[in-house]
Amino acid sequence: MAADETRATPATTERPIVVASNRLPFAIERRPDGLHLETSPGGLVSAMDPVLRKCGGTWIGWPGVELRSGEALPVADRPYAVAAVNVSEEELEGYYHGFSNETLWPLLHSMPGRSRFERPDFETYAGINDRFAETVSDHARGAGLVWIHDYHLMLAPRRIRETLPPEASLGFFLHVPFPPFDIFRLLPWDRELLSSLLACDLIAFHVRGYARNFLDCVERTLGARVDHEAMLVEYGDRTTRVAALPIGIEFDTFDRLARGMARQPESGPERIVLGVDRLDYTKGIPERIRALERLLELHPEHREKIVLLQIAVPSRAEVPEYRELKSEIDELVGAVNGRFTTSTWSPIRYINRGIERERLAALYRDAEVALVTPLRDGMNLVAKEWVACQVDAPGVLILSRLAGASETMREALLVNPYDLDGTAEAIHRALSMEEDERASRIAALRRRENRDDLDAWTAAFLNAAAEARGALPTMSDRDFEGWLSDFIKDYRLALFLDYDGTLTPLTDHPDRAGLSPEMRDVLVRCASRDDADVAIVSGRSLEGVRKMVGEEALTYAGNHGLEIEGPGIPLFEHEDLVHYRGRAEELADQLDRIASDGAWTERKGPTLTFHYRSVPEAQRGGLARDARAIVVRAGYQPRDAHCAVEARPPIGWDKGRAVLHILRARYGPAWSESVRVVYVGDDQTDEDAFRFLSGLATTFRVGSPDAPTAATRRLPGVDDVRGLLGWLARRPVGGRRWP
């Protein structure tokens, strides 16, 4: 929700919702007399509990302990259902401590040097996400919304979508930052996480910067079609809305507590500069202490008059890195205090424990300066809580520009937490600021945070989820121009196209896959340009693909490029083919013996394809396995295609090598200096070309988004290929760089 918008009106929700988060809305402790429940005070519970109480539904999460066989949660009197996802101690190590917090947490906070990329951790994470998805599916019947929370469950949406009733919406909110493309792509499983999230109808982030990073990642990693202005992503047959919805706090609760609490003994007589954080390396506590030290060096007038009251709530004490951080902070506090302490004053008061919310509200109220300087933070609610508690003399908020809150809390003094001198000067300015300026800044902050509170955030998400479904307009020249205009401008275009499934829809029999008049028209117009060359690279035989297309101006590569002919290049036939023509006939005879119920063998000279598209679906798997085994025994290489098994000679040749041969034969060894390559294909055989051309071309995978691909982008179907060729045919001619 933008800072200047009015409070959102809650959506009318007549059906129940399902909430899925890593933890349930309470903690479970096992005692000698059984399981005991303690309500969690977190912000997520404060937001979701009222919604579930009103709408009904189920909260799904891990209870915090491993449940024993037959053990039930003590939740009989709750106004809505809860469902526990059981996680063993061993699984917790890989799923939570491993992938969630040692891989994703630092990566999402743009600290990739701290990430560990361990496949066993990812596999455990994927398994637990599947378990969450199964539990959600068990409780989703009749639900109007399934709302998934945070980075622990980024692989769950795809599995949930597979079983979700069509009328139910699927939403996801990320409570931490989302990093830029150059950081997120370091994750070996980036495609899996992104494609899973795009199973949602709505994906929301705290601020537009994170949303823009996500849009950039899905466009560049998955080749998804993105409308950056409307914040829509088209991926396959689904359109996902992306939104920036900054989370708020229970403003009225903190305001009330601040007005009712007495001054706390932790405050002391000095002017308080307050830091409140979970003990985590993203929070910038060591940098904050060094900035205070720098303040006392640059501005000695503040000595014996101020104190940094730093509250650090213990976190993940079982992780060595966090224990090392605590030791570093302990040493820094000791060093700074040792340097500046007098007989009556120490500059830092350090509390390494949690503080009850009521007492914390009083400390917020009495602090003249709030020092909220994380190195990276999704939002940072401490800044908002401090503002809500400023009910007496106004203080000053110093806020890291690397926290999501900085995008809306404009009246704070924004700092770079890595700039110690800059942070020190901001503290000096805050301590020296006139009351009228402090009052003006705090008044604006309080007005905004009161309006954009936790209830407003919840209502905004529910409204966005209700309105999320829609679709991008049909793919148009605007898309193609954005993708290709700068890439091919001033260069000669080498356009490579697969045939079946790319230029023509797949059919039950290859002989029926003729070019439509519209496709033939745009293909011919592309080939007739004097700044473009067009090649068809097909698994069909050279004679077969040439017969199907029949245009003399094109280059043809048959049998995945084992045979090539075209204008201006010598006829090519791989030298090893002579050894395989007879063997291919023998192999075809063997495959014919297992062909039944519509299966048949396509003979293509030195290669062949065993087709089973017309076979009943229940029989296809076994038939394909038998065909692959026969191909292997014959000394050929089996390759899966669309409802087919292709048999290729084991001579180390594929569409990627065929493309290279054509480029070198036509343009010479330095072809990349004057030529831009676009390749469009639809199946696994085209992946060889996509991999070869990685970084050298713009490549398009046609068809289902579920198929993994090395292509740069995706096109939903043959009609979109025709649209692409139409744009290529009529685009303006640029300045020429080719000889």
| pLDDT tens-digit map of 511-527 | 888 999 999 999 999 99
Instruction: Supply the CATH classification number for the domain 17-244.
Output: 3.40.50.2000
Provide mean pLDDT across the span 569-587: 84
Contacts of 253 (CB under 8 A, 6+ apart): none
Residue pLDDT, tens place only, 628-676 = 999 999 888 888 888 889 888 888 889 999 999 999 999 999 999 999 9
Options 498, 500, 686, 720, the catalytic residue: 498
Cβ 679 vs Cβ 503: under 8 Å: no
Q: With 60 as the cut, is the pLDDT of residue 577 above it?
A: yes
691 vs 598, which has greater pLDDT? Answer: 691
Of the candidates 550, 387, 540, the residue with the CA atom closest to the CA atom of residue 453 = 387
One-letter amino acid of 430: A
pLDDT tens figures, 418-428: 999 999 999 99
Q: Note the pLDDT of residue 43.
A: 67
Burial-class residue 643 by CB neighbours within 10 Å (0-12, 13-18, 19+). Answer: middle
Task: Give 330's pLDDT tier (boundaries 50, 70, 90).
Answer: very high
Other C-beta atoms lying within 10 Å of the C-beta of residue 253: 16
Q: Determine the Cα–Cα distance for residues 23 and 95; give it in Å rounded to an integer.
A: 13
- Give phi and psi for 580, each to the nearest 5: -120, -10
Residue 1: pLDDT over 60: no
Which DSSP symbol is given to 406? G
Task: Please provide the DSSP assignment of 343-405 as one string.
Answer: SS--SEEEE-S---HHHHHHHHHH-SEEEE--SSBS--HHHHHHHHT--SS--EEEEETTBGG
Active site annotation includes 683: no
The CATH code that applies to domain 477-574+653-730 is: 3.40.50.1000
- With cut-offs at 50, 70 and 90, classify the pLDDT of residue 319: confident
Q: Which residues contact 683 (CB under 8 A, 6 or more apart)?
A: 498, 501, 641, 642, 703
Residue count of the chain: 739
Q: Where in the chain is the domain with CATH 3.40.50.2000?
A: 17-244, 251-452
**pTM for the whole structure:** 0.82
Strand order in the sheet with 600-604: 600-604, 607-611, 644-648, 637-641
Mean per-residue pLDDT for 151-162? Answer: 95
User: pLDDT band at 91, cuts 50/70/90?
Assistant: very high
Least confident of 402-406, 408-412, 491-495, 681-685: 681-685
Most confident among 51-65, 434-448, 584-598, 706-720 (mean pLDDT): 434-448
pLDDT of residue 66: 87
- Please answer whether residues 565 and 556 qualify as being in contact, where contact means their C-beta atoms are separated by less than 8 angstroms: yes
At residue 262 the predicted structure's pLDDT band, cuts being 50, 70 and 90, is confident
331 or 585, higher pLDDT: 331
Residue 609: strand, helix, or coil: strand
Distance CA(517)–CA(519), nearest Å, equals 6
CB neighbourhood size of 704 (10 A) = 13
pLDDT value of position 76 = 63
Bridge partners (DSSP) of residue 277 are: 312
Q: Output DSSP code: residue 96.
A: I
pLDDT of residue 12: 43
Band (737; pLDDT cuts 50, 70, 90): low
Q: What is the CATH number of domain 579-648?
A: 3.30.70
| Closest to 683 in 3D by CA, of 561, 500, 542, 496 | 500
Has domain 251-452 been given CATH number 3.40.1190.20? no
Nearest to 403 by CA among 206, 257, 598: 206
Structure tokens at 546: 């040439």
Rounded Cα gap, residues 178 and 181, in angstroms: 9
Structure-model confidence comparison of residues 605 and 738, the more confident one: 605
The three-class DSSP label of residue 520 is helix
Q: Which of 281, 355, 368 is nearest to 311 (CA)?
A: 355
Angle (nearest 5°) at CA 555 between 696 and 673: 30
Instruction: Give residue 502's pLDDT.
Output: 96
- Average of pLDDT values for 601-621? 88
- 175-216 pLDDT, tens digit per residue, is 999 999 999 999 999 999 999 999 999 999 999 999 999 999
Q: What DSSP state is assigned to residue 66? A: P
pLDDT at 11 over 70: no
Instruction: With both helix axes pointing from N to C terminus, report the angle between 119-139 and 156-163 in degrees, rounded to the nearest 10.
Output: 30
* Mean pLDDT of the 256-268 span: 86
| pLDDT band (50, 70, 90) for residue 568 | confident
